[in-house]
Amino acid sequence: MTGITAYGAYIPRLRLSRLAIYQAMGWFAPALIMVAQGERSMCNFDEDSLTMAVAAARDCLTGMDKRAVDAAYLCSTTLPFADRQNAGVMTTALNLRDDILTADITSSQRAGTTGLIAALDAVRAGSRKQVLLTATDKRLTKPAYFYEMWFGDGAASLLVGDEDVIAEFLGSYSVTHDFVDHYRGADRHYDYMWEERWVREEGYAKFIPQAVQGLLKKLDLTMKDVGKLVFPCLFKAEHRTIAKGLGASPGQLMDNMHDVCGETGAAHPLLMLTAVLEAAKPGDLVVVAGFGQGCDALAFRVTENITKLPPRRGFQGALADKRTTDNYMKFLKFRDLIQPEMGIRAEAPTQTAMTALWRNRRMLTGLVGGKCRSCGTPQFPKQDYCVNPACCAHQSQDDYEFADVPAQILSFTGDLLAVSVDPPAVYGTVQFTGGGRFLADFTDCDAQEVRVGLPVKMAFRRRFTDSERGFAGYFWKAIPQQPASEEAAAGKEVK
Element (H, E) at 216: helix 205-218
User: 443 and 391 in one domain?
Assistant: no
Classify residue 474: in a domain, yes or no: yes
Range of the domain at 253: 3-334
Share of the chain above pLDDT 90, in %: 94
Q: What is the pLDDT of residues 356-415, one digit of tens each?
A: 999 999 999 999 999 999 999 999 999 999 999 999 999 999 999 999 999 999 999 999
DSSP code at position 253: B
pLDDT > 70: what percent of the chain?
A: 98
Q: Are residues 260 and 360 in the same domain?
A: no
Q: What is the mean pLDDT of residues 422-436?
A: 96
Q: Both 9 and 89 in a single domain?
A: yes
Within a domain: residue 339? no
CB contact at 8 A, 262 and 232: no
The CATH number covering residue 190 comes to 3.40.47.10
pLDDT surpassing 50 at residue 217:
yes
What is the pLDDT confidence band of residue 469, given thresholds at 50, 70 and 90? very high
Assess whether 311 and 375 both reside in one domain. no
pTM of the model: 0.96
C-alpha torsion sign, points 332, 337, 339, 345: positive
- Tally: H helices and E strands in the chain: 14, 23
Confidence of residue 491 (pLDDT cuts 50, 70, 90): very low
Domain contains 142 = yes
413 shares a domain with 265 = no
Average pLDDT, the chain: 95
Residues 388 and 437 in one domain: no
Q: How confident is the model at residue 343 (pLDDT cuts 50, 70, 90)?
A: confident
Instruction: Answer yes or no: do 314 and 423 share one domain.
Output: no
Q: In whole angstroms, what is the distance from residue 268 CA to residue 138 CA?
A: 11
Same domain for 139 and 240: yes
Same domain membership, residue 359 and residue 392: no
Instruction: Give the count of domains, the chain.
Output: 3
Domain check: are 463 and 439 in the same one?
yes
With respect to residue 305, please indicate whether it lies within any of the assigned structural domains: yes
Shared domain check, 278 and 190: yes
Please answer whether residues 396 and 373 qualify as being in contact, where contact means their C-beta atoms are separated by less than 8 angstroms: yes
Q: Would strands 323-325 and 14-17 be described as parallel, antiparallel, or unpaired?
A: parallel
